[in-house]
Amino acid sequence: MIPALIKSVTFTVSLALMSGFTFLFVTDASAQGNLLITPRRVVLEGPKKNSVDMNLANIGKDTATYSISVVQIRMIENGGFETITEPDPGQLFADKYIRFFPRSVTLGPSESQVVKVQITRANELAAGEYRSHFYFRAVPKPTPLGEKARTLDTSSISVSLTPIFGITIPVIIRIGELKVKVTLSDLVLDMVNDTIPILKLAFNRTGNMSVYGDLAVDHISIQGKTTRVGIANGIAVYTPNTIRKFQFNLNKVPGIDFKSGQLRVTYSAPSDVKPERYAEAELSLHK
């Protein structure tokens, strides 16, 4: 729920340059700004997996050009992201140890292209997890030659809106023996206006690697009936963070009383990888 679309306009871009970029982080194979990227995360595990092919597809109706670069990102405690230039203590950047080609693509409607990602300078890598993020930025179409600029009324303020889309996905290198452990804590269920159930909790991570998975919430009635009331996919806790606070709305399922029974919360590996349960916790509900 980390996935990431950037949509900005000219008068907001200048603000973004002062405060850092704003990204929408992709947590699933999904399309943003007519660009579809798979896989949603690039994970290189040397030496057994030294390269990955990313597939970029234009699902729009117009030809589009995208530039590809690498940015460094910090995850903050509430799950938000900030761009940085220097690693935090315990954080390792991957950009010096990867190469990728091409660095820009132009795709017609329904066209696709493979971008090759490889580990480089592997002999310089000490054991650990290295992370950077690929940034796919839509390149605005140039003004056609011979087109005249519109005359502006200098007595008034004019704003030119130019949407710019961008997506980031993590690129991770893992070397050597890596371990991670996750627990769930501080579970609280709030009822907004006595109608909207919001679950709040904290992910606690230890070890030398990040964790990424899906959250499932089941309501267990006093009679023992189990009902799925919430799913949140693609939740990451990146190194060096040891805690991530998270909240999301549960589903209002007919017949479910959120003032009795209990909630069982399970954090597991995504369904498209080897099944693994990272953590589980329960919250008793009382009237």
* Lowest mean pLDDT, pick from 142-151, 183-192, 209-218: 142-151
* Closest to 253 in 3D by CA, of 284, 217, 224: 217
Beta bridge partners of 49: 45
More confident residue, 148 or 43: 43
The pLDDT tens digits of the residues spanning 150-165 come to 555 556 665 555 556 6
Residue 16 in this model has a pLDDT that exceeds 50: no
With 60 as the cut, is the pLDDT of residue 20 above it?
Answer: no
Q: What is the pLDDT of residue 9?
A: 35
Q: In what order do the strands lie in the sheet with 243-249?
A: 180-192, 196-207, 243-249
Task: Give strand pairing partners of 170.
Answer: 133
Which range scores top for mean pLDDT: 64-68, 147-151, 164-168, 182-186? 182-186
pLDDT mean over 243-264: 95
| pLDDT of residue 36 exceeding 70 | yes
The pLDDT score that the predictor gives to residue 47 is: 80
Burial class (CB in 10 A: 0-12, 13-18, 19+), 47: exposed
pLDDT at position 160: 53
User: Does 14 have pLDDT greater than 90?
Assistant: no
Instruction: Note the pTM of the prediction, 2 decimals.
Output: 0.81
Is the pLDDT reported for residue 237 higher than 70? yes
* Spatial distance between the Cα atoms of 249 and 266, rounded to a whole number of angstroms: 16
Segment 27-41 shows an average pLDDT of: 70
Beta strands of the chain (E only): which ranges? Answer: 6-8, 31-32, 35-38, 42-45, 51-58, 64-71, 73-75, 81-83, 98-101, 104-107, 112-119, 128-138, 164-175, 180-192, 196-207, 211-220, 226-237, 243-249, 262-268, 277-284
Pair 98, 72: CB distance under 8 Å: no
**What is the DSSP track for 169-225?**
EEEEEEES---EEEEEEEEEEEEETTTEEEEEEEEEEEESS-EEEEEEEEEE-TT--
* The predicted structure's pLDDT at residue 22: 39
pLDDT in the model for residue 271: 75
Looking at the predicted structure, is the pLDDT value of residue 270 above 60? yes
- Average pLDDT in the chain: 85
Specify the amino acid at residue 142.
Answer: P
DSSP 16: H
- Could you tell me the two tokens for 52? 């990955």
Confidence tier at 5 by pLDDT (50, 70, 90): very low
The arrangement of strands across the sheet holding 226-237 comes to: 226-237, 211-220, 262-268, 277-284
Arithmetic mean of pLDDT, 197-211 = 97
Q: How far is CA 222 from the centre of its chain?
A: 37
CB-CB contact of 86 with 132 (8 Å): no
Longest dimension (CA), the chain: 75
- Residue 42 CA to residue 14 CA, distance in Å, equals 31
Q: Give residue 274's pLDDT.
A: 73
Q: What is the mean pLDDT of residues 228-256?
A: 96
Domains, the chain, with CATH or none: 6-143+156-175 (2.60.40.10), 180-284 (2.60.40.10)
